[in-house]
Amino acid sequence: MTDLLLRDALLPGRTALTDLLVSGGRVAAEGTGLPSGPQEIDLGGRLVLPAFVDAHCHLDKTLWGGPWVPNTAGPRLQDKIDYTRTRRGEFGVASADRIEALLRHVVSLGTTRVRTHTDVSPEFGLQGFHAVREAAERLAGHVTVEQVAFPQYGMLTNPGTAELMAEALRTGLAQVVGGIDPAGLERDPVRHLDVVFGLAAEHGVPVDLHLHDRGTLGAWEYDLIIERTLATGMRGRVTIGHGYALGDADPARQTEIARGLAEAEISVVTCAAHSDPVLPILTLRDAGANLAAGNDGIRDLWSPYGDGDMLARAHRIAERAELYADAEIELALAAATHGGARALGLPAHGPTVGSVADLVVVEARTQAEAVMSRPARTLVLFEGTVVAQ
């Protein structure tokens, strides 16, 4: 790995330009007038950000890069579930080629770390895991992809699913155990968490649960997950995706839950998709709870929406959360960078000395400007290697 000198870089929060020396996959030095190396890139005063982390997506379902597939699913939730479950084979889902096309696209937009929730169900077994793994292997050295064993169609309510999740974890196809609506879908929250946390303990993996349940039911499930995390010594290894109920709760209850999340070091991931509630970003910050961001579905059988761009996602989160001050807009960007890395248990990355050199360079002067303008990405580095330019 040759050293790379990035000349005339603008770092977040600064006004004066500097140089960055990238060596051994890390940012090794920073300062003006660093000596020239064998490889040098003039950034021309552009802003250097930490590369993006998509902490919640569904690569296995994507149709990206293929011919347009008209969505003919009905309007109800059950229609969408049936459609994605029964017609995936007809549209070639999951496809390593489609997933590879999407991964190439997101890397070009500055994403270098991905956690994806891969469907598990007896009708199609672990097919999605093999497709995602194959695509990720083709993109090795550009992006890392972590797979969650995700019971999209239920676990207790879909016999055979828990056994397949265990198989995915045992064989290393999945690195994280998932879960879904312990009460609303599964109708037995205690037993659902018994199985999910049991699999986590057995295989030594983190937990990442989808929680769509709304209102007081969903808020109560937050309590259950916080309690379970503390009781099982899983502090720092649990993530809740969507978690709309936290957006529904009144301010006092939001604070109470956010403090519980901080104590248990549970990360929450917001996608700000559709009209669903965004999480209370300022309350989470005040409580010291970690917020990450993700794209959720990207042009798939479930939804034709999504473009894979985490900077656009940060913009969407900021707008939906009604963040106006630059310092608040920066929180939405942090969710798409450092917050995601923390949720995934990754070491610090970004343009600070000693950090992993996963970087993205944009035509902007400040972080808030980058979020609002969503400018082109002129350079992307993965562990110090140029992966898009």
What minimum distance in Å lies between the beta carbon of 191 and Zn ion?
22
Number of amino acids touching Zn ion (CB under 5 A) = 1
What minimum distance in Å lies between the beta carbon of 243 and Zn ion?
11
The answer to whether 145 and 112 have CB atoms below 8 angstroms apart is no
Reported residue count of the chain is 389
For the stretch 126-130, contacts whose Cβ atoms lie closer than 8 Å and that sit 24 or more positions apart, written own/partner, are 126/164, 126/167, 126/168, 126/173, 127/94, 128/60, 128/61, 128/93, 128/94, 129/60, 129/168, 129/173, 129/174, 130/96, 130/173
Given the complex with Zn ion, which of 103 and 273 has the nearer CB atom? 273
Given the complex with Zn ion, which of 55 and 173 has the nearer CB atom? 55
Taken in order 342, 343, 345, 351, the sign of the CA dihedral is negative
What minimum distance in Å lies between the beta carbon of 221 and Zn ion?
16
Given the complex with Zn ion, which of 208 and 358 has the nearer CB atom? 208
What minimum distance in Å lies between the beta carbon of 344 and Zn ion?
15
Given the complex with Zn ion, which of 19 and 296 has the nearer CB atom? 296
Kindly identify the residues of this chain, within the stretch 170-199, that bind Zn ion according to CB under 5 A: none
The answer to whether 146 and 168 have CB atoms below 8 angstroms apart is no
What minimum distance in Å lies between the beta carbon of 180 and Zn ion?
9
CA–CA dist 151, 154 (Å, integer): 5
Q: How far is CA 236 from the centre of its chain?
A: 16
Decide: residue 67, CB within 10 A, 0-12 exposed, 13-18 middle, 19+ buried.
Answer: exposed
What number of other Cβ atoms are within 10 A of residue 192's Cβ? 26
Given the complex with Zn ion, which of 110 and 243 has the nearer CB atom? 243
Given the complex with Zn ion, which of 221 and 330 has the nearer CB atom? 221
What minimum distance in Å lies between the beta carbon of 270 and Zn ion?
11
CA–CA dist 137, 311 (Å, integer): 25
Report the interhelical angle of 189-203 vs 215-231 (nearest 10°): 30
What minimum distance in Å lies between the beta carbon of 2 and Zn ion?
39
Residue nearest to Zn ion (CB): 296
What minimum distance in Å lies between the beta carbon of 117 and Zn ion?
5
**From residue 132 to residue 171, what is the string marking binding to Zn ion with x (rule CB under 5 A)?**
----------------------------------------
- Binding segment toward Zn ion, per CB under 5 A, in 42-50, 196-204, 291-299, 305-313: 291-299
Given the complex with Zn ion, which of 100 and 181 has the nearer CB atom? 181
**From residue 293 to residue 332, what is the string marking binding to Zn ion with x (rule CB under 5 A)?**
---x------------------------------------
Given the complex with Zn ion, which of 221 and 296 has the nearer CB atom? 296
The structure tokens listed for 344 are 């995934």
The structure tokens listed for 375 are 């400018």
| Contacts to Zn ion by CB under 5 A | 296
